[in-house]
Structures are given as C-alpha cells and as structure tokens.
A and B are shown apart, each in its own frame.
Chain A
Amino acid sequence: MKALIRDIYNTAHEFVRTFGAFQLFFLRLLRYSPRVLMRRPRLVVKQVYNAGALSLVIIMVCGFFVGGVLGLQAYANLARFNAEDSVGTVVALALIKELGPVITALLFAGRAGTALSSEIGLMKATDQLSAMEMMAVNPVRRVLVPRFLGGVIAMPFLVAIFTCIGLFGAHVVAIDLLSVDVGAFWQQMQLSVDIDDIHEGVIKSFVFGVVASLFAVWEGYNAVPTAEGVGRATTRTVVISAIAVLILDFMITAVML
C-alpha cells in the first residue's frame, strides 16, 4: 500500500517536473529565436528547406487525394438534395478551416518531426551535442533553435499549399468526373467562404507548426542516448504531436466559432 502511494507520488512528481522543464525549454527556444534569426539566418533557411521543401511531395499528393475524396463524398450526399452546386462550398470550408491545417500538421509530424527528433537524438547519442558544449558552442542555439524556427516558418506555407492542391483535387473530381457546373462550384464557394475562415486556418497552421516542431525538438533533445532511446523518442514525437494537434484544434475551433 505504502509502495503504491509512493509510486503514484513519484509518477505525479515526475510528470509535473517534465511539464515544468518543457515550459522552460520552450521559453529558452523563444528567447534565442530572434538572435538566431538575425545573426544566423542561413541555419534557419537550411531547416526551412528540410522541413518545408522536402515535405512538399507528401503534402501535395495527400492534399490532392484528400480534396478529391471530399469532393466525392460531398457530391454523393448533396446530390440527394439536388444541391450539387454546394460541393465547392463544403470542400473549401472543410479544407480551409479544418482538414488543411490538421492533416498537414499530422503529416508534418510524421515527415519532418520524426526526422528532427531522430537527428537530434542521434547527435546526442553520438555525443555531438556534448562536443559542441566543449567547444563553447551552445547546442540549443546552434542546433535546436534553427530546427524549431524552420518548422514554424514552413508550416503555414505547407498548409496553404495543401489547401490549394486539395481544392484542385476537388475541382478535378467534381467538375471533370462528376460534371458539376464549374461556375456554380467556384461562385458558391466564394459566396460562403469569408476572409475570417482563412484567418482561422492560418492561425491554426501557425499554432500547429509551433506545437509539432516544439515536440519534435524536445523529444530529440531529451532522448535516452541509445539506439532504442532514439527510436522511442521518434515514436513519441508523432504520438504526442498528433494528440496535441487534435486537442488544440478542438480548442481553437471552440474559441473562434
């Protein structure tokens, strides 16, 4: 009994400690961010390339098919009410407000987040981070902050690209395959999509970018420096990012509605 209580206490204690360390880590990243952006923009550019440009293929392919399947489903259900003209509206609102940011964030966590945390974890396992400290180079500033910033900068662009390609996919499916009227498709969309909807999508994509990159960097930096530890850190990055993104999505939507 005593042991059980001690275990519970220890677990809770450990949880709170990790949580606090995480906040401090986040603050540390934020504090170094402006300086890194000003003095070492090259490092950030490299990471924008890694996180953004190299994720383009998966983002574009997935965007196309997500848009296409949305178009199919919307058409199949709206056609029952003779409201095929609203396919554009449904697809655009779903993509801009929800699916664009969320699916991109999940793909980003899977494609770029894992790469970040395994890279950093491996650097730690092979003592590269310690070596930097020995040379009086701050590894947080030199390694972590550029990777974090790269993810944060890349995410909104990735979301915008995903949404556009998704609209294109829906356009192909609805107009070329299901012969929805092209004028009605775009006009109904333009009538019902408001600039506020775009703002919501951009805010979400920015928040998700911060969250996904933050967890990736954090997990990598705190990985147990063994082969197994790096593997675990990579898995945890995806799991935690996905959970955090979906919970935050619900919260942001509830606030902005």
Chain B
Amino acid sequence: MQQTRSVEIGTGLFVLFGMSALFFLTTQTTGGDGFSVSDTFEVEARFENVGSLKSRAPVSMSGVTIGRVTSVVFDPESLDAKVTMVIDAKYDKIPDDSDASILTAGLLGSQYIGLQAGGSDTYLEKGSEIYFTQSAIVLENLIGKFLVGSQSGDEE
C-alpha cells in the first residue's frame, strides 16, 4: 500500500509538472508582445506603399508601443493601402495631425508604424484617419533612384 501511494504521488507530481511546463510554453513563449489591452480605439491610415507591414505589427510613438496594426488591405478605389490599427484607449491625447510612417526595426527587422506627434488641438479618436503618412522605404526603389541619380550626375 505504501508503495502504491508513492507511485501515485510520483505520477501526480509528474503530470502536474508536465502541465505547468505546457502552460509555461503556451503563455510565456508566444504572443505576449507587450500589448494586450482590451480597451482600445480604432484609427485608419492610407499609405502609398506599406512595404512588408503585416497585421499585428506594433504601432509606436517615441519608441513606446501604444497600439497594433489589425489589418492591411488594398483599396481598389483609391488605389492605395488602407491600414487599420488599434491604439490603447488611455492615449487619447494624440493630436489628429500627427503623421504616421512605416519604419523598420533595425537593418533587417520587421516593419512597424511610427507616429510623430503633430501640433493640433483636436485629438485622434475612434474612427479618425491619419492624413499625413509616409510610405515604407523599399530598398529596390532606393537603389534604383541612387543608380539613376549617379548616371545623370555623370552626364552633366
């Protein structure tokens, strides 16, 4: 009897240990990207070119993540990309003439949206649109410009 008891205790401990390991894996190694608030408001922005921006990319202001991109879709009428993002509701004093640009974290990092504060007295709220946007820098375009630029320089 004593022996069965110790076997049962050992098994119980093992299974508990295994479950907590699984729990740790599912909660600590995934998703927890520092932004998981439920109270948010939605803002829109249109970009000529979003580069490789994906949904769930961070929206940051002064380097602090304040929101997250929820969808990136192409608008066939205005022929540009419509980016929808949610911003933490506690940041309700962002001027509505702030500008949004698509930036890259590091040289090869993923892309995110950086907001630069404007000077307006009215603030971004649910459903408002950011009008001043700056597209992603596409490396090929940059190289193309550089090549064309240097060629015309030679001719002059």
Contacts and interface: CB of A to CB of B under 8 A. Distances in A.
B127 interface: no
A172 interface: no
B7 A161 contact: no
Interface of B: 4, 7-8, 10-11, 13-15, 17-19, 21-22, 24-26, 28-34, 108, 110
B30 A190 contact: yes
Nearest to A85: B106
A96 B25 contact: yes
Nearest to B56: A191
Nearest to B23: A160
The 7 closest A-B pairs by CB, nearest first: A157-B18, A160-B21, A53-B14, A160-B22, A164-B21, A49-B11, A53-B10
A198 B31 contact: no
Q: What is the predominant secondary structure among interface residues of chain A facing chain B?
A: helix
B26 A48 contact: no
A146 B115 CA distance: 60
B30 A156 contact: no
A193 B30 contact: yes
Nearest to B29: A193
A103 to B, nearest CB: 15
A15 B7 CA distance: 40
A187 interface: yes
Contacts of A201: 25
A35 interface: no
A53 B13 contact: yes
Nearest to B13: A53
Contact of A42 (B4, B22, B34, B110): B4
Given A49-B11, A195-B31, 10 more contacts: A45-B11, A46-B7, A53-B11, A56-B14, A81-B108, A164-B24, A167-B29, A190-B28, A190-B29, A198-B30
